[in-house]
């Protein structure tokens, strides 16, 4: 049996970290200049943030110097939008498509352009430069995103960055930037209460003491869910310490821990149940006992060297995601009886202490990584060069287990069950996966007059290994492994000769590793793509800016996860080749203050159009790729009374999309063979199969804030609300129909001192 060694992350990390004197992070080419400028400004403005001690951003220099679509949500934007969750705020970024099936926004649902949104499986998510997808090379689902209260900004690259960042780089890259130390002490306290038991809290402190800088934050939230049996709670802790060794060397260490305990499951409604009671799960099959527990931890140690014309950065990091879900397993019920439940075998009805069984889906992800990056600046005659190069290594371990309770036993993250096959209703299993990856890249931004031409290439080699075994004597797989070597070339062009306008174009190859967790058999086939775009950024007038890009992406062996599970396993297929054609547009305007009033107006528009269709022959030729709406957009308009008050209104639109490869139009209850159920049939109700077209939705949100001028610290009273018309709409049909969040209104206070 093929059983390669499982635990060698420290050796790999140490080897790459020792290469830190050679390589570095590719962010600010003018890091030394920006550091000096920030330090000199610190004496004039006590609130100024320290320049980053370490290179941890996504953008290669300022956005204006990026040869591709690059956007940011700053902390000022987040304060102005004052979202209920981070996912709500991300709708303001053109090109992003958000499926928000989690009331607290912990389980990420972000799509970029033509990428499906569910669990952000095709988007590389970074927190301060560290990947936070559960396992980028094995199972890229995202079960964690940082709370917006402790973020300085969110950086988004679309259709660019393929050389520097990978994997999951076909469609786009998002980096969440956490709080960093400030030159003088800055503290923030925030608390908010609302309907449906919403309770939000946050406290943070940043400062510098001599050569040391610190940033500390706690954020948490409680809320009822979209269904009557759902409740959510999370607590997030973050800390960072920076040490400026001297003018050239610096160190930084950060740690994050999030703990979530929620009554939540993914067994959703049949069409007839949704039509009669769209938010009711109580009384179905004991779903009030279903829970999820998530423990996420991230540790990151970085060193940076700033020399003359060179920046060198190295880091080692580790992430650990313990995600366990516990559900009642009712087996099959009669379709004819719906919405009432008629069990095919009454023994499966869950009555605590009496009958029925609960089952877990316990997943443990561990990732260990090391990287070294460098940026070197030099000139040859009148031609400028900015050469970025680096090497990265990753070791990933993933255990996917099924644990069963005893008859009538309620299991949870505190009691994971101990009955391994002692009765006919229980049989445990464990799937083990591991991946090892090493990547190197180089690119050269060549500046010739007003033109910047950037050729580059990334080389990735990775292995995926699976060993599936059961508690009995049967081994379904005796060990399987896949090796891949990929070259990802890129070419980008940027023209800056126009006044206040940049024009860019690029073409690059990207890829998404196959989802090993859901694969029927090896070898696995990654999704690869040729991604191209052309666009511009401009300032049309004082206070008015715009950016837009048109894109054309050709995707080979498109990876698609279907909206149901069979025998406890998600169904993921390399369905066919596809292409995505579209454009995204962003407009922002802020008016001057009206004379004598101090009142100004502001507005922002984000819009994206993407048509993603299959291009191979056969029955799905020309069909839309599942979970890819044609249209998505957001419009915010507001007024601001100087530094005293703000008020704004937002309209969000998310277009309709198909859930399955055949583009079934009507919402249809089906069996595990994806055939419509007939009278007399039974269905697996915990993993119900619903196919069809998810209708579009347009939602209204608003917020208002007032700064209390007579209080010493800066104190703001605020009210925010989402889905203000209390519209009932479908957000997803994964394992049945799930409604979106009901009307939510939260009021609170924020104190800064």
φ and ψ at 569, to 5 degrees? -120, 135
pLDDT band at 742 (very low <50, low <70, confident <90, very high): very high
Q: Report how far residue 546's alpha carbon sits from residue 276's, in angstroms, rounded to the nearest whole number.
A: 45
pLDDT at 196: 92
Task: Show the tokens assigned to 712.
Answer: 């010493």
Q: Report how far residue 399's alpha carbon sits from residue 117's, in angstroms, rounded to the nearest whole number.
A: 24
Buried b (16+ CB within 10 A) or exposed e, 556-579: bbbbbbbbbbeeeebbbbbbbbbb
pLDDT at 672: 75
Place of tokens 């050469």: 387
Q: Report how far residue 6's alpha carbon sits from residue 366's, in angstroms, rounded to the nearest whole number.
A: 11
Q: Is the pLDDT of residue 31 over 50?
A: no
For 79, 102, 231, 459, 461, the CA distances from 395, given in Å and listed in that order, are 38, 29, 35, 17, 12
pLDDT at 569: 57
pLDDT band at 468 (very low <50, low <70, confident <90, very high): confident
User: Does residue 120 sit in helix, strand or coil?
Assistant: helix
User: Does residue 476 sit in helix, strand or coil?
Assistant: coil
pLDDT averaged over every residue in the chain: 86
| In the chain, % of residues over pLDDT 70 | 87
Q: Report how far residue 670's alpha carbon sits from residue 683's, in angstroms, rounded to the nearest whole number.
A: 8
Q: Is the pLDDT of residue 323 over 50?
A: yes
Dump pLDDT digits (tens) for 264-317: 988 999 999 999 999 999 988 999 999 999 999 999 999 999 999 899 999 999
pLDDT band at 402 (very low <50, low <70, confident <90, very high): confident
pLDDT at 373: 95
Place of tokens 């409740």: 231
Measured over the CA atoms of residue 264, residue 268, residue 269 and residue 274, the dihedral's sign is: positive
Q: Is the pLDDT of residue 416 over 90?
A: no
Q: Report how far residue 298's alpha carbon sits from residue 367's, in angstroms, rounded to the nearest whole number.
A: 9
Q: Report how far residue 214's alpha carbon sits from residue 47's, in angstroms, rounded to the nearest whole number.
A: 15
In this structure, how many other beta carbons lie within 10 angstroms of the beta carbon of residue 251?
Answer: 15
Q: Is the pLDDT of residue 33 over 70?
A: no
Q: Which of 90-99, 411-420, 603-612 has the lowest mean pLDDT?
A: 411-420
Dump pLDDT digits (tens) for 601-645: 999 999 999 999 999 877 889 999 999 999 999 999 999 998 899
| In the chain, % of residues over pLDDT 90 | 62
Q: Report how far residue 204's alpha carbon sits from residue 146's, in angstroms, rounded to the nearest whole number.
A: 14
pLDDT band at 421 (very low <50, low <70, confident <90, very high): very low
Dump pLDDT digits (tens) for 50-66: 333 333 445 556 787 88
All domains in the chain, ordered by first residue: 9-752 (2.40.170.20)
User: Does residue 78 sit in helix, strand or coil?
Assistant: helix
Dump pLDDT digits (tens) for 2-28: 333 344 433 333 333 344 433 333 332
Dump pLDDT digits (tens) for 675-708: 888 888 888 888 889 999 999 999 999 999 999 9
Residue 751: name the closest of 703, 708, 714, 723 by CA: 714
- Pairing status of strand 124-127 against strand 172-178: parallel
Q: Report how far residue 753's alpha carbon sits from residue 238's, in angstroms, rounded to the nearest whole number.
A: 19
Q: Report how far residue 608's alpha carbon sits from residue 94's, in angstroms, rounded to the nearest whole number.
A: 6
Q: Which of 65-79, 630-644, 719-733 has the lowest mean pLDDT?
A: 65-79
User: Does residue 271 sit in helix, strand or coil?
Assistant: helix
Is the distance from CB of 660 to CB of 734 less than 8 angstroms? no
Residue 82 exposure: Cα atoms within 13 Å on the Cβ side: 29
pLDDT at 58: 53
Dump pLDDT digits (tens) for 514-525: 888 877 777 888
Buried b (16+ CB within 10 A) or exposed e, 168-196: bbbbbbbbbbbbbbbbeebebbbebebeb
pLDDT band at 414 (very low <50, low <70, confident <90, very high): confident
pLDDT at 727: 95
Q: Which of 57-66, 100-109, 406-415, 597-606 has the lowest mean pLDDT?
A: 57-66
pLDDT at 42: 37
For 605, 630, 643, 653, 657, the CA distances from 696, given in Å and listed in that order, are 19, 10, 37, 7, 8
Q: Which of 253-257, 297-301, 561-565, 624-628 has the lowest mean pLDDT?
A: 561-565
User: Mean pLDDT across the stretch 37-52?
Assistant: 38
- DSSP state at residue 623: P
pLDDT at 50: 37
Burial class (CB in 10 A: 0-12, 13-18, 19+), 227: buried
Is the distance from CB of 588 to CB of 617 less than 8 angstroms? no
User: Mean pLDDT across the stretch 207-221?
Assistant: 96
Sheet holding 69-74, edge to edge: 69-74, 151-158, 172-178, 124-127, 130-131
pLDDT at 425: 46
pLDDT at 1: 28
pLDDT at 3: 34
pLDDT band at 470 (very low <50, low <70, confident <90, very high): low
pLDDT at 722: 95
pLDDT band at 597 (very low <50, low <70, confident <90, very high): confident
Residue 510: name the closest of 175, 171, 174, 155 by CA: 171
User: Which residues lie below 8 Å from residue 597, measured CB to CB, with a gap of 6+?
Assistant: 641
User: Mean pLDDT across the stretch 400-424?
Assistant: 74
Q: Which of 102-116, 135-149, 153-167 has the lowest mean pLDDT?
A: 102-116
């Amino acid at each position: 049996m093929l059983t390669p060694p499982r635990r060698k992350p420290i050796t790999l990390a140490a080897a790459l970290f020792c290469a830190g004197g050679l390589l570095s992070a590719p962010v600010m080419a003018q890091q030394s200049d920006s550091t000096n400028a920030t330090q000199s400004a610190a004496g004039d403005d006590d609130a100024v943030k320290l320049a980053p001690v370490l290179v941890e951003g996504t953008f290669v220099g300022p956005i204006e110097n990026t040869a591709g679509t690059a956007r940011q949500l700053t902390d000022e934007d987040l304060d102005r939008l004052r979202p209920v969750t981070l996912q709500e705020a991300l709708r303001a970024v053109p090109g992003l498509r958000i499926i928000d099936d989690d009331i607290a926004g912990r389980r990420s649902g972000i799509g970029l352009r033509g990428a499906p949104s569910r669990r952000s499986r095709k988007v590389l998510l970074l927190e301060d430069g560290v990947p936070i997808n559960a396992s980028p090379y094995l199972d890229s689902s995202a079960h964690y995103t940082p709370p917006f209260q402790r973020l300085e900004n969110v950086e988004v690259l679309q259709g660019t960055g393929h050389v520097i960042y990978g994997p999951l780089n076909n469609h786009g890259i998002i980096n969440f930037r956490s709080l960093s130390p400030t030159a003088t002490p800055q503290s923030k306290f925030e608390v908010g209460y609302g309907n449906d038991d919403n309770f939000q809290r946050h406290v943070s402190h940043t400062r510098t003491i001599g050569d040391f800088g610190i940033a500390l934050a706690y954020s948490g939230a409680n809320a009822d869910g979209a269904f009557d049996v759902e409740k959510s709670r999370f607590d997030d802790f973050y800390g960072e310490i920076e040490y400026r060794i001297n003018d050239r060397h610096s160190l930084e260490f950060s740690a994050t821990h999030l703990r979530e305990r929620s009554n939540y499951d993914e067994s959703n409604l049949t069409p007839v149940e949704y039509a009669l009671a769209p938010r009711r799960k109580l009384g179905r099959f004991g779903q009030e006992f279903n829970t999820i527990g998530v423990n996420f931890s991230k540790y990151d140690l970085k060193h940076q060297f700033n020399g003359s014309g060179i920046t060198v950065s190295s880091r080692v990091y580790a992430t650990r995601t313990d995600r366990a879900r516990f559900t009642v397993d009712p087996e099959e019920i009669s379709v004819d009886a719906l919405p009432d439940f008629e069990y095919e075998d009454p023994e499966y009805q869950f009555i605590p202490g009496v009958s029925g069984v609960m089952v877990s889906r316990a997943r443990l992800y561990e990732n260990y990584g090391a990287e070294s990056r460098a940026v070197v600046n030099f000139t040859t005659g009148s031609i400028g060069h900015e050469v970025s190069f680096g090497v990265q290594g990753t070791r990933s371990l993933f255990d996917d287990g099924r644990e069963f309770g005893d008859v009538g036993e309620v299991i949870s993250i505190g009691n994971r069950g101990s009955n391994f096959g002692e009765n006919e209703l229980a049989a445990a299993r464990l799937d083990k996966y591991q991946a090892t990856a090493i990547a190197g890249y180089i690119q050269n931004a060549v500046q010739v007059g007003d033109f910047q031409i950037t050729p580059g290439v990334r080389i990735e080699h990775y292995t995926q290994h699976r060993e599936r075994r059961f508690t009995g004597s049967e081994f379904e797989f005796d060990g399987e492994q896949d090796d891949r070597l990929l070259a990802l070339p890129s070419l980008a062009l940027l023209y800056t000769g126009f006044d206040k306008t940049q024009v860019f174009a690029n073409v690059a190859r990207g890829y998404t590793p196959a989802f090993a967790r859901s694969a029927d058999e090896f070898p696995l086939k990654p999704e690869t793509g040729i991604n191209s775009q052309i666009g511009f950024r401009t300032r049309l007038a004082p206070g008015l800016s715009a950016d837009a890009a048109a894109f054309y992406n050709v995707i080979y062996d498109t990876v698609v996860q279907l909206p149901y599970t069979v025998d406890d396993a998600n169904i993921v297929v390399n369905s066919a080749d596809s292409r995505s054609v579209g454009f995204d547009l962003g407009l922002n305007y802020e008016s001057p203050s009206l004379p004598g009033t101090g009142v100004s107006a502001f507005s922002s528009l984000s819009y994206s159009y993407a048509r993603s269709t299959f291009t191979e022959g056969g029955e799905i030729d020309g069909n839309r790729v599942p979970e890819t709406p044609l249209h998505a957009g957001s419009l915010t308009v507001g007024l601001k009374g100087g530094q005293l008050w703000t008020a704004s209104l937002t309209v969000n639109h998310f277009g309709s999309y198909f859930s399955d490869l055949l583009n079934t139009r009507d919402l249809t209850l089906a069996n595990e063979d994806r055939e419509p159920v007939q009278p007399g049939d039974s269905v697996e109700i915990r993993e119900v199969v619903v196919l069809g077209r998810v209708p579009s939705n347009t939602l209204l949100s608003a917020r208002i804030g007032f700064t209390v001028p007579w209080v010493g610290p800066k104190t703001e009273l605020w009210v925010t609300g989402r889905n203000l018309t209390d519209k009932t709409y479908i957000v997803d049909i994964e394992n049945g129909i799930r409604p979106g969040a009901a009307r939510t209104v939260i009021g609170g206070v924020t104190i800064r001192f």
